[in-house]
Structure 1
Amino acid sequence: MTTTTYSVSGMTCGHCTAAVTEEISKLDGVQEVTIDLNAGGTSAVHVKSDNALDDSAVREAVDEAGYELVGS
């Protein structure tokens, strides 16, 4: 099991975290998504997966939810 942390900007509430969690959870191998919401800035998104994830796939999932992956 691998845990990777991503920084996501633009999330401000529970609806935001639910949307990002839903999209990332669709990726192959993802077992769990937890988010440390920082409504005033960049939030930490922790993704547990069976193997290393493709950062571009995570970026696309976050974009689909309407938010922005910072870095990577």
Structure 2
Amino acid sequence: DEMVAIADCHAKLKQIVFPVFYDVDPSHVRKQNEVYESAFVLHAEKFKDDPHKVDGWKRAMTCFAGLTGWDVRNK
């Protein structure tokens, strides 16, 4: 839920967000494939009574992955 609040502040208040991608390919986060796809399927099942929660997480992660950030892979 914190990610959704941060994404809302970024969109509405133009606050700066600087994502750090540690041992993850930002494109996998943005496209929500590989482990992210299966994780969201599990979360959707777990929170089936509140589908907007998972949708908000997906939108927030897509937003953050599309920003310029720090990619810390193999460094």
TM-score by length of 2: 0.31
Q: Return the index of the structure with the highest Cα Rg.
A: 2
Greater share of strand: 1
TM-score by length of 1: 0.31
Which fold has the larger relative contact order, with Cα–Cα distance below 8 Å and residues 6 or more apart in sequence? 2
Greater share of helix: 2
